[in-house]
Structure 1
């Protein structure tokens, strides 16, 4: 029984560390070089030893932040479709994707190319599937044009990676709005 308590505490500690790191990345606009691990540990309410036991390197922590962010993003599809018309659900999901893209951009900049490719290869299918679900629902409702798939939209979203950080808050939502307008049936 005591082992279970520690195990749930360890899971809770890990979750708090990831959330604290995500918050730090958001505050620093995705700049991973501003991510101070001692501040992450303090914000999570754990010691540095606990942080390093879960995440031996900054890269490990950043990869987990990316995975957690992707999981949250993918997890919003079903509730959005339950609460909104398909095109509105897609638009709201893409707005959420803008935050994901900011975190992803910071993670990509901090993780070695080979590690990033492995991380992306193991995760991108989930993003594609979520986007395809939104698109298919929109097509079925007659709100999204036929002949468009997730790969098309992801290529368009690649424009987000070209936005200078100083222009992000203004340009990213505008680019997403243009993409949504182009997807309308």
Structure 2
């Protein structure tokens, strides 16, 4: 049985529910009040349950939205003229999404979403490496681990809002390919 497409008003309600759920899950954790999410979306709780019969269904929709946003960004960045800047922008988006991923990943397996995210990163890293702008030894799994570490560091230091940017800057500068000078470093 195929699902019928949603009417425009139902689609808008669903989109508002997902947006409000994302905000609530980030602020209050994945056990945020569904009634409050529905109220903030401007719909009744029955509308929420029509779209998302279980809390897990709403979590899944929010998580998928995060993955799709990152993949869409990766496709857009793959067309940018400066492949190293595009890679840096993508890494910043991964770091910014860390909190959402951590909150949502504890309630759902992430293996199926990791593959397309890694492929998106490989496209961007490969472009930067082929352009001679990024170190050849860099790998996407390493970059994702570093992005996660930056996110965790930011979570551990909420009184230092500039920390993620400083750490990301260090990672990006360390990722930059070094020009060959002909001399060996000692």
TM-score by length of 1: 0.80
5+ long unaligned stretches in structure 2: 178-186
Q: What secondary structure, in the 3-state scheme, does the structure 2 residue paired with 1:142 have? A: coil
Does the 8 Å CA contact 1:105/1:161 hold for their aligned counterparts? no
Residue 75 to residue 156, structure 1, CA distance change in 2 (3 Å): same
- Give the equivalent residue in structure 1 for 2:86: 89
1:101 to 98, 113, 120: 98
Q: Residues 154-169 of structure 1: matches in 2 within 5 Å?
A: 154-163=144-153, 164=156, 166-167=158-159, 169=161
Quote the offset at 1:93 in angstroms: 1.5
Q: Residues 41-80 of structure 1: matches in 2 within 5 Å?
A: 41-80=38-77
- Structure with larger Rg: 2
Aligned partners of 2:160, 2:103: CA distance in 1, in Å?
A: 13
Q: Residues 1-185 of structure 1: matches in 2 within 5 Å?
A: 7-26=7-26, 28=27, 31-32=28-29, 35-109=32-106, 111=107, 116-117=108-109, 120-163=110-153, 164=156, 166-167=158-159, 169-185=161-177
Q: Answer 1 or 2: which has greater helix percent.
A: 1
TM-score by length of 2: 0.80
5+ long unaligned stretches in structure 1: none
What is the root-mean-square deviation of aligned Cα atoms in Å? 2.4
Which structure carries more relative contact order (alpha carbon 8 Å, separation 6+)?
Answer: 1
Q: Deviations over 1:118-140 (max 9, x none)?
A: xx011110110111111011012
